[in-house]
Amino acid sequence: MEAIITVPAYFTDIQRKMTKLAGYAAGLDVKAIINEPTAAALSYPFPVGGGRKTIMVFDLGGGTFDVTILEFNGKEYNVITSDGAHQLGGKDWDDLIIEHLHYVYEYSTGSDLPEDMVFEIQKKSIEAKLSLSKQQEVTVSVCAGNNFVTTKLERTEPLENGFIMDCGDMIPPFYFETRASNLLAACRSLCLQALHKARHEWFQIDEIVLAGGSCRMPMIPRMLKEISGKDVPTVIPGFDYDTAIAIGAAKYGKIKGNQIVNDVVSHSIGVRCLENNSYRIDHLIRKDTKLPAKGESTYNTASGQGSLVEVYEGESDLPDECIKRGTLRLPQVNGTVDVTMNLDEDNILTIIADCPPRPREIVFDSDYKDPKRDIELKEKVHTIDIKP
């Protein structure tokens, strides 16, 4: 079965490789790995003949957050920049309610919440979050043994001023949007960061596209409207937050080969080198460079000694703050080594080190088409014993 797999835009090439390997291990013929915000844009019903548009895709899922800025000219999607956070998503909003329910139960009963109630509390918290996306307040009840606790959760603080807490009640009121202010600030910061990287102002953004079920929370489109000054549509015929990425991936699979999606490099890639008695990363391919991308440089080597070309991924100049991608061992070299990096449309990285007696090549992402490797992976999957 052929498959297009979507991943968060900030995924490293190693994460993409592992995702693709997992697909092959499951018996899928993985045709491509594409970024989730790009897939969401593919499914968005732009009006026919609408001309060139610059779009910001705000993708807030259950556990991850991506923001991508791209251009659509009626035929091609050209990604300008992508950013995101791998530990920011709807679950963080769930946790705000979970923590409050724990506090209310423990304060009201004087005892810890039983361990067998953890899943029930998570379920009630998710249900409360969904309810608060549609109404101002919701009442949640927690029953454990002989203890029964009820608490009220509100979406926003009341407009009127005054003392809002009973003097005898030490349980603070729960205002969902107030509690989530730090999470909203993180989303806001990443949007502004992406805008800065794209060298755009808000007036240059024509549409803000929401993707991911967590965007159903009213605080999300309102926050975006506050910082952009633009209306953010929440009800769009033919477009659904929950299925937008899947539909976009299917559309990509249909049109793949027509080259209408032009993406960018997710993370900078470079070589570790010694400079002034300390190691640093010399980036040959920078983040947000359009794919396919190429970078090359020449390095001096110690005369008559074997050399290592160590490749790192990340934005920092310090190796310890980047992810090591791999190592190419060279023979004894006199003089210099020419290193060339090529990153193709599928984010497959090839590195060639040109040195005597012959150029040496290393491919960090395999082509995944080796039948022998496919069989080995499938055999490993089949040996996993999943007990009911």
**pLDDT tens digits for range 327-343:** 877 766 667 788 888 88
What is residue 345's predicted lDDT score, i.e. its pLDDT?
Answer: 75
In the chain, what percentage of residues exceed pLDDT 70?
84
What single DSSP character describes residue 105? Answer: H
Pairing of strands 269-275, 278-285: antiparallel
**What pTM was computed for the model?**
0.81
What is residue 374's predicted lDDT score, i.e. its pLDDT?
Answer: 54
* Distances from the Cα of 178 to the Cα of 18, 97, 174, 227, angstroms: 38, 12, 8, 17
Going along the chain from its start, the domains and CATH numbers come out as 269-363 (2.60.34.10)
Torsion of CA 257, 261, 262, 263, to 10 degrees: -110
What is residue 13's predicted lDDT score, i.e. its pLDDT?
Answer: 73
Residue 80 to residue 73: CA distance in whole angstroms: 13
What is residue 140's predicted lDDT score, i.e. its pLDDT?
Answer: 94
What is residue 238's predicted lDDT score, i.e. its pLDDT?
Answer: 84
Mapped onto helix, strand or coil, the DSSP state of residue 66 is strand
What is residue 164's predicted lDDT score, i.e. its pLDDT?
Answer: 46
Residue 2 to residue 29: CA distance in whole angstroms: 4
Low-confidence stretches of the chain (pLDDT < 50) are 162-168, 304-305, 364-371, 388
